[in-house]
Amino acid sequence: MTRGILLIGHGSRTGKSREIIEETARLMQEKSGIQTIPCFLEFDSPSIAEALGELAKTADKIAAVPMLLAPGTHTEKTIPHLLGIPEGQKKTVIQSANGTEILLTYADPIGVEPALADILLKKANFPA
């Protein structure tokens, strides 16, 4: 079984978030050995559909992971709709271009994470 990850960023008109999403995807792939493709909800490319189509060529299990902090319209409605996941569900089966079935699961947004609190405290960078 071949696994793959879609790392979904929002995207921005300035393109500044693109580098962060791409580098995070690279780090995730390096750490896990799982092919990780960055994609974007809007403004940047590849789109979610483009990245999903690319990953579906090689993976039979795909996890779609939003790099967004909190539940909201994008995480609850927009992204699942673009992935073809029925409302209120966290997984579905999609067909690859050659007709094989692929299990697609959708992760929760980041939410409250102790590691994130540590990172933000570090970023506060109080002078000594």
Q: Does the annotation mark 10 as catalytic?
A: yes
Q: What is the pLDDT of residue 70?
A: 96
Task: Write out the E strands in 10-88.
Answer: 35-40, 61-66
- pLDDT tens-digit map of 3-53: 999 999 999 998 889 999 999 999 999 999 999 999 999 999 999 999 999
Give the integer Cα–Cα distance in Å for 85 and 107.
Answer: 12
Q: Which candidate in 10, 18, 61, 91 is catalytic?
A: 10
Q: What mean pLDDT comes out for the span 57-73?
A: 96
CATH assignment of the domain containing 110: 3.40.50.1400
- pLDDT tens-digit map of 84-105: 999 899 999 999 888 899 999 9
Quote the domain boundaries for residue 57.
Answer: 3-124
pTM of the model: 0.93
Would you say 78 and 21 are in contact if contact means Cβ atoms under 8 Å apart?
no
- Split into its structural domains, the chain has a count of 1
